[in-house]
């Protein structure tokens, strides 16, 4: 059995962008998650933020970030995104952020989904830090990816302790 290796290095060990030119185009998707932990008083103040609705601003920031992933992550390919969605679920301890990205391309969209939740979480922090600087961004991870040679990946445990 062939031992897995990091994909962004050539045979000599130099950093290299993966050549996907020989890979077939296929439909691909990815879902990522992040969690922003904050006290209940900050959650209650979300609708009253003077800068605007933090969740809607974070949604736009996450979608925009997904579209700029190749500019932010040096060895990512530029992808024609066909869909990006950023969703929020509030609970007593904070905000769960989920991003879905889709494309029809030669490589996957995991980094676009991960970038979307990361930037959405940072935007929420930016818009609420005046109320509490101890807000935490936690648990950024891939939940699922589909398509490509490696097929479907689903995280075994999609729930995490908050």
Going from N- to C-terminal start, the domains of the chain cover 26-149
Sign of CA dihedral 135, 111, 78, 54: negative
pLDDT at position 2 over 70: no
pLDDT of res. 116: 98
What percentage of residues in the chain have a pLDDT greater than 70?
92
**Exposure b/e, 48-85, CB count within 10 A at least 16 = b:** ebeeeebbebbbebbbbbbbebeeeeeebbebebeebb
Query: What is the fold of 26-149?
Result: Alpha-Beta Plaits (3.30.70)
Average pLDDT over residues 115-138: 97
- What's the whole-model pTM score? 0.89
What does the CA dihedral 142, 147, 149, 152 come to, rounded to 10 degrees?
Answer: 50
**Stronger pLDDT, 64 or 50, i.e. the higher one:** 64
Catalytic residue among 41, 53, 91, 126: 126
Judge whether 126 counts as a catalytic residue.
yes
Average pLDDT over residues 85-111: 97
Residue 126: pLDDT band (50, 70, 90) is very high
pLDDT at position 60 over 70: yes
Q: Hey, which bits of 63-149 come out as E strands?
A: 81-91, 94-105, 136-146
pLDDT at position 110 over 90: yes
Average pLDDT over residues 115-125: 98
Among 121, 154, 156, which Cα is nearest to 139's?
A: 121
Average pLDDT over residues 89-114: 97
pLDDT of res. 141: 97
pLDDT of res. 90: 97
pLDDT of res. 19: 78
């Amino acid at each position: 059995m062939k031992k897995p290796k990091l994909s962004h290095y050539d045979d000599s060990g130099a950093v290299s962008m993966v050549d996907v030119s020989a890979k077939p185009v296929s439909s691909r998707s990815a879902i990522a998650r992040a969690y922003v932990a904050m006290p209940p008083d900050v959650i209650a103040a979300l609708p009253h933020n003077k800068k605007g609705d933090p969740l809607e601003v974070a949604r736009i920031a996450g979608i925009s970030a997904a579209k700029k992933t190749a500019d932010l992550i040096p060895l990512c390919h530029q992808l024609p995104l066909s869909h990006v969605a950023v969703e929020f679920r509030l609970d007593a301890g904070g905000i769960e952020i989920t991003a879905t990205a889709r494309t029809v391309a030669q490589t996957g969209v995991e980094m676009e989904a991960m970038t979307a939740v990361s930037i959405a979480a940072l935007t929420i922090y930016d818009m609420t830090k005046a109320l509490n600087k101890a807000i935490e961004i936690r648990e950024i991870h891939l939940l699922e990816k589909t398509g490509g040679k490696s097929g479907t990946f689903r995280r075994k445990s999609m729930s995490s302790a908050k």
